[in-house]
Amino acid sequence: MSTHVESAPKHFDLLIRGGTVIDGTRRPRFVADIGIVGDRIAAIGELAESTADAVVSAKGKIVAPGFIDSHTHDDQVLLSQPHMPFKISQGVTTVVTGNCGISIAPLRDSCPMPAPLNLLDDQDSPRFATFADYMAQLRQQPPSVNVAALVGHSTLRAMCMSSLDRAARPDEIRDMRGRLEEALEAGALGMSTGTFYPPAMHAPTEEIVEVGRPLSAVDALYVTHMRDEADRSLEALEESFFIGRELNVPVVISHHKLKFAQNFGKSGVTLARIAEAMKRQRVYLDCYPYNASSTMLHTDAARLHGKVLIASSDAYPECSGRDLDEVAAEWQVSKTEAARRLQPASAVYYNMDERDVQSILAFEDTMIGSDGIPTGDQPHPRLWGTFPRVLGRYSRELGLFSLETAVWKMTGLTASRFGLAHRGQLAAGCFADLVVFDAETIRDAATYDVPKQMAEGIETVVVNGVVTWRTGSHQGARNGRVISRSNTAHRYGLGDADTRPHGA
Ligand code: ZN
Ligand code: CU
């Protein structure tokens, strides 16, 4: 425990008094005061003698680093709803955008937005021709949370290719590669792919390697919604590892899951394979704590297995929240025809085994990412509930892991994997992103039926030293920052899961 009391100032801007600190490193909790000056933690320890402009009493409550959402689709909503209530109300202080191959930049006004790119965008939202333009806009109009951004390969394809139903030609690969370079220079953390989805489904492995070349020089991340998360998930893992090795960069397996009954239980095999691969290359993964998935409404029968709930439909907004089967029966058409008529649309799919979800969550290296889709009236409940659900249901109620481990999976681990320096940990010198919550009462309230519900038990959320959320209400602050890629942080890699040490 680092106290730094001797050198600490006697007066702070903000003092969090008497809380039980879980510091994001998995170290056991301890009682301490936290003194904040400006945007940084100045001291942690016994600070009874100190004064402050503002004091938050945290007696009997947990004080943890602000949660980092490793997997989001918040690219556009950060600008259109900068207060980000669905994230800040959960204690989230940093989001990673641009996942699953889809990012809001770079895109021209004339670019088509085929699904799932349209999940990011309402039609009249601004486009950004370069990644630097997007980052500049975020800085000019800061949201309430910090942002670290990935650039999406499907977005690059939409920007650079005349049609998406084929592999990229050499000139298109060069064009995409140049734009990836631009994005990395502008501060992107890496590139994401979504070869599961139509806009990138026809991209062969070699295309991704060739487009991804610029990642190698700066050791940026390769983040992937794999080609398959069902019958061919092992082959998809091998492809992801191969790309990571070819480029010699870390691979993040996004929202690891096994879909459809015939694959239930297969997480034993995939996790063993991931653990094996981790011995020779950097492989990271994240997961959301639910056994239903959500994305665009598919129109092919193979992807409409089982119960499908319509989350949003531009053509028939009144159908959101309804069962696809029911709507198809009412219209007297097939499921696929109903899905076609509802487009553009998104859906919730009941397609996973709870035991797989728990094995993946409990796997040591798994980070927590919401994969929340912030559009439509009936979003998947993960948008509002992910982080409190892991703390309440999976840690407290089911005892899947300790609270210290749960916090680490959403703070220190994530910061170290994504190279977010001085975040994800409570220590003197770190940014003052923190959350005060009640370990006894914290729980998600969002359900599939009523998904837009604030979680319970989050008391105070501080972003870069500014109180942004207090007992159920937003304080209006928009103190989030753009976090650019830092070259060295995730090189602390291979098997070393600890948060990197803090310097200055
Ligand atoms: Zn995805
Ligand atoms: Cu996603």
Q: pLDDT for 425-464, tens place per residue? A: 999 999 999 999 999 999 999 999 999 999 999 999 999 9
Q: How far is the CA of 312 from the centre of ligand 2 (A)?
A: 16
Specify the CATH number for the domain of residue 46: 2.30.40.10
Q: How far apart (Å, rounded) are the C-alpha atoms in residues 263 and 214?
A: 36
Reported confidence tier of residue 8, pLDDT bands at 50, 70, 90: low
Buried b (16+ CB within 10 A) or exposed e, 35-69: bbbebbbbbbbebeebebeeebebeebbbbbbbbb
If you measure from the C-alpha of residue 371 to the centroid of ligand 1, how many angstroms do you get, rounded to a whole number?
A: 7
Q: How far apart are CA 144 and CA 141, in angstroms?
A: 10
Residues 383, 446: contact at Cβ < 8 Å?
Answer: yes
| pLDDT higher than threshold 50 for residue 272 | yes
| Co-location of 226 and 197 in the same domain | yes
The DSSP result for 203-250, as a single string, is --HHHHHHHHHHHHHHT-EEEEE-S-SSTTHHHHHHHHHHHHHHHTS-
CA 233–ligand 1 middle distance (angstroms):
14
pLDDT at position 497 is 37
Position 150 in a domain: yes
The dihedral of CA 329, 333, 339, 345: what is its sign? negative
Question: Averaged over 263-292, what is the pLDDT?
Answer: 98
Return the pLDDT at 376. Answer: 83
* Per-residue DSSP letter, 100: T
Last residue of a domain, one of 346, 381, 404: 346
Q: 290 pLDDT exceeds 80?
A: yes
Q: How far is CA 334 from the centre of its chain?
A: 35
- Check residue 1 and give its pLDDT: 46
Q: So what's the pLDDT on residue 501?
A: 36
Residues 185 and 128 in one domain: yes
Tokens of 163: 């049609």
64 versus 1: the higher-pLDDT residue is 64
Any domain includes 484: no
Could you say which of 346, 362, 384 is where a domain stops? 346
The CATH number of residue 339's host domain is 3.30.1490.130
Domain end point (choices 346, 364, 379): 346
Closest by CA to 489, choosing from 407, 429, 430, 422, is 422
C-alpha 31 – ligand 1 centre gap (Å): 39
Task: Note the pLDDT of residue 502.
Answer: 35
| CA–CA separation, 220 and 493 (whole Å) | 12
In this structure, which ligand is nearest to the CA of 371?
Answer: 2
Residue 37's domain spans which residues? 11-65+423-477
Report pTM.
0.94
User: Does pLDDT of 5 surpass 60?
Assistant: no
Q: How confident is the model at residue 377, as a pLDDT?
A: 84
Angle at alpha carbon of residue 261, lines to 257 and 264, rounded to 5°:
50
pLDDT for res 314: 92
Question: What is the average per-residue pLDDT within 390-402?
Answer: 98
Q: Are residues 227 and 123 in the same domain?
A: yes
- Whether 467 shows a pLDDT value over 60: the answer reads yes
Structural domain contains residue 457: yes
Give the model confidence (pLDDT) of 139-174 as tens digits: 999 999 999 999 999 999 999 999 999 999 999 999
- Stated as kind and residue range, the H or E segment containing 186 is helix 170-186
In this structure, the answer to whether residues 83 and 143 fall within a common structural domain is yes
Residue 235 sits in a domain whose CATH number is: 3.20.20.140
Closest C-alpha to 322, from 451, 452, 449: 449
Please give the average per-residue pLDDT across 182-203, as a whole number: 97
**In the block, which residue shows the tokens 């209530």?**
85
Does residue 497 form part of some domain? Answer: no
pLDDT in tens, 193-211: 999 999 999 999 999 999 9
Q: Which pair of structure tokens corresponds to residue 385? A: 């509930």
Q: Are residues 156 and 23 in the same domain?
A: no
- Whether 217 and 126 map to the same domain: the answer is yes
C-alpha 311/C-alpha 320 separation (Å) is 5
Based on the domain organization, do 467 and 321 belong to the same domain?
no
Whether 461 is in a domain gets the answer yes
Are residues 88 and 36 located together in one domain of the fold? no
Output the CA 125–ligand 1 centroid distance in Å.
Answer: 22
Q: Is the pLDDT of residue 465 over 60?
A: yes
Does 313 lie in the same domain as 360? Answer: no
Token pair, residue 197, equals: 């989805």
Same domain, 55 and 90: no
* pLDDT for 495 beyond 70: no
Amino acid, single-letter form, for residue 341: R
CA 56 to ligand 2 centroid distance, Å:
35
Residue 499 pLDDT > 80, yes or no?
no
Assign 484 to helix, strand or coil.
Answer: coil
Question: Is 500 contained in some domain?
Answer: no
Phi, psi of 259 (to 5 degrees): -100, 145
Instruction: Round the average pLDDT of the chain to a whole number and report it.
Output: 93
Q: What percent of the chain has pLDDT over 90?
A: 89
Give the model's pLDDT for residue 7.
57
Number of domains observed in the structure of the chain: 3
- Ligand 2 centroid distance, CA of 427 (Å): 31
Report CA-CA distances (Å) from 349 to 52, 311, 448, 478: 50, 10, 11, 34
The answer on 434 and 329 residing in a single domain is no
pLDDT over 50 (residue 496): no
Nearest one of 350, 428, 337, 464 to 33, comparing CA atoms:
428
Q: Is residue 250 part of a domain?
A: yes
Provide the pLDDT for residue 120: 84
Looking at all shown ligands, the one closest to residue 197's CA atom is 1
pLDDT for position 9:
63
The answer to the question of residue 176 being in a domain is: yes
Q: Kindly report whether the peptide bond that precedes residue 116 is cis, defined as omega within 30 degrees of 0.
A: yes
One-character DSSP codes across 366-429: EEE-------SSS--THHHHHHHHIIIIIIIIT-SS-HHHHHHHTTHHHHHHHT-TT-SS-STT
pLDDT confidence of 6, banded at 50, 70, 90? low
Give the least confident one: 109-113, 259-263, 312-316, 325-329: 109-113
> Looking at the CA of 370, which ligand is closest?
2
- Residue 119 pLDDT grade (very low, low, confident, very high; cuts 50, 70, 90): confident
pLDDT at 334 (0 to 100): 95
Residues 110 and 254 in one domain: yes
DSSP one-letter code for 141: S
